[in-house]
């Protein structure tokens, strides 16, 4: 294929992406998704209910079938499983976030006095982002199971290859270097800012010795408790209302502290505060595990770039850290044996950084 052909293909691909975006918004605007959310319908019924000529509506339906949003069963049309997820979790197609992108890019960094006056606004933005992450966190279940395996929890299995980026101390073979010893006594795991607790529950599911203490808002803990109940963790799961920044953690109490998809929503100063607080709460030899976005030396994928932009829009002060900077931040907080691996099963390029308390 010539360079000209590749350019034309890329052009067509971008135009198709934009057209698909408009298809989805049009279907939402005219009420098609709402109509089919109540059950499958025929073309004449849909045309009458929506007030759209059947021949024009058919063109829209056929296009939506091509992108996997609508399914056809003989004379009936229905929402696909993907469309039902959109209607349940992202009914506005993310517009509430992306419409703020231009302004978010133009925002100037806050000086200290402004940070004080906008602390309440920042807290509200953090809560909104945390709720959004928790609502769909269950989609990370395969990645959570892989993370648990990499950490050495559960029966010994061959771990799928995970792309690892390394500084001097980042594990080249994370499945071997990160794994801990076989549990012979209870493992106290703190899931700080747990969301739906999919990550900690996956670990507890694989390792019967784990007892999870999950800390988050009351609303998030409802989803977390439901997750724990679904895999019958019973008395191995304890939920506590608290805040990531001010959780009043007991000293020298946990074998592991997990912070998943939350840490890098905070400012650099707050991240340092959280890391030091967690260090004090770990037992000697205990590990902190941060699962989040990290920027490696490779060119970021579209999914990784979009997640980084979403983080900026939703928080204003959060940012995806460079791997070397994140590692140094761990060391500055007092952690040793800092290691990192990308989680191969993650659909958005999540990675895992681990540090140990001396």
Q: What is the CATH number of the domain that holds 19?
A: 1.10.10.10
Give residue-wise pLDDT tens across range 327-354. Answer: 999 999 999 999 999 999 998 889 999 9
Residue 53 sits in the same domain as residue 155: no
Same domain membership, residue 77 and residue 12:
yes
How many structural domains comprise the chain?
2
Of 93, 127, 146, the residue that ends a domain is 93
Residues 55 and 129 in one domain: no
pTM of the predicted structure, to 2 decimals? 0.80
Is 264 part of the annotated catalytic residue set? Answer: yes
Q: Find the largest Cα–Cα distance for the chain.
A: 71
Do 175 and 159 contact (CB within 8 A), yes or no? yes
Which residue from 128, 291, 145, 137 is spatially nearest to 223, judged by alpha carbons? 137
CATH number (domain holding residue 199): 3.40.50.150
169 and 39 fall within a common domain:
no
Q: Are residues 23 and 82 in the same domain?
A: yes
Q: What secondary structure letter does DSSP report for 265?
A: G
User: For the segment 28-57, what is each residue's pLDDT rounded down to a tens digit?
Assistant: 999 999 999 999 999 999 999 999 999 999
Active-site entry in 10, 22, 264, 298? 264
Give the span between the Cα atoms of 346 and 350, in whole angstroms: 6
Please check whether residues 243 and 147 belong to one and the same domain.
Answer: yes
* Residue 298 located in a structural domain: yes
DSSP E strands: which ranges in 43-138?
70-73, 76-79
Instruction: Tell me if residue 297 falls in helix, strand or coil.
Output: coil
Q: From first to last of its 358 residues, what are the pLDDT tens digits of the chain?
A: 788 889 999 999 999 999 999 999 999 999 999 999 999 999 999 999 999 999 999 999 999 999 999 999 999 999 999 899 888 778 888 888 889 889 888 877 655 555 555 567 777 888 888 887 887 888 899 999 999 999 999 875 544 444 444 443 444 334 344 555 555 689 999 999 999 999 999 999 999 999 999 999 998 999 999 999 999 999 999 999 999 988 889 999 999 999 999 999 998 999 999 999 999 999 999 999 999 999 988 888 888 888 888 888 888 888 899 999 999 999 999 999 999 999 999 988 899 999 999 9
147 with 207, same domain: the answer is yes
Both 73 and 138 in one domain: the answer is no
Q: What is the DSSP letter of 264?
A: G
Domain membership flag for residue 105? no
Domain residue limits at 208: 117-356
The kind and range of the H/E element at 287 are strand 282-293
Residue 299 is classified by DSSP as P
DSSP codes joined into one string, 113-159:
HHHHHTHHHHHHHHHHHHHHHHHTGGGGHHHHHHHHHHTT-SS--PP
């Amino acid at each position: 294929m010539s360079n000209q052909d590749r350019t034309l293909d890329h052009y067509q691909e971008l135009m198709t992406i934009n057209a698909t975006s408009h298809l989805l918004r049009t279907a939402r605007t005219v009420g098609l998704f709402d109509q089919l959310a109540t059950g499958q319908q025929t073309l004449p019924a849909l045309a009458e209910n929506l007030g759209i000529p059947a021949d024009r509506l058919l063109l829209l339906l056929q296009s939506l079938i091509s992108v996997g949003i609508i399914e056809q069963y003989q004379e009936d049309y229905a929402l696909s499983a993907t469309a039902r997820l959109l209607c349940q979790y992202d009914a506005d197609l993310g517009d509430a976030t992306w419409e703020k992108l231009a302004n978010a890019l133009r925002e100037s960094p806050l000086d200290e006095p402004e940070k004080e006056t906008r602390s309440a606004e920042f807290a509200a933005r953090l809560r909104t982002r945390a709720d959004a992450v928790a609502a769909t966190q269950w989609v990370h279940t395969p990645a959570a199971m892989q993370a648990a395996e990499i950490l050495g929890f559960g029966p010994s299995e061959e771990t799928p290859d995970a792309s690892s980026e390394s500084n001097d101390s980042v594990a080249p073979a994370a499945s071997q270097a990160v794994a801990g010893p076989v549990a012979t006594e209870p493992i106290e795991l703190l899931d700080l800012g747990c969301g739906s607790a999919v990550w900690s529950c996956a670990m507890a599911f694989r390792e019967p010795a784990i007892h999870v203490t999950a800390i988050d808002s009351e609303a998030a803990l409802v989803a977390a408790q439901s997750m724990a109940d679904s895999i019958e963790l019973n008395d191995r799961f304890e939920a506590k209302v608290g805040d990531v920044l001010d959780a009043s953690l007991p000293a020298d109490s946990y074998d592991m502290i997990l912070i998943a998809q939350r840490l890098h929503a905070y400012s650099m100063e707050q991240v340092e505060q959280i890391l030091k607080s967690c260090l004090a709460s770990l037992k000697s030899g205990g590990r902190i595990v941060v699962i989040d976005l990290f920027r490696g030396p490779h060119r970021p994928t579209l999914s990784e770039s979009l997640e980084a932009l979403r983080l900026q829009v939703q928080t204003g002060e959060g940012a995806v850290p460079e791997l070397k900077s994140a590692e140094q931040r761990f060391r500055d907080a007092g952690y040793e044996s800092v290691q990192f691996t990308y989680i191969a099963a993650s659909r958005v390029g999540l990675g895992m950084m681990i540090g140990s308390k001396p």
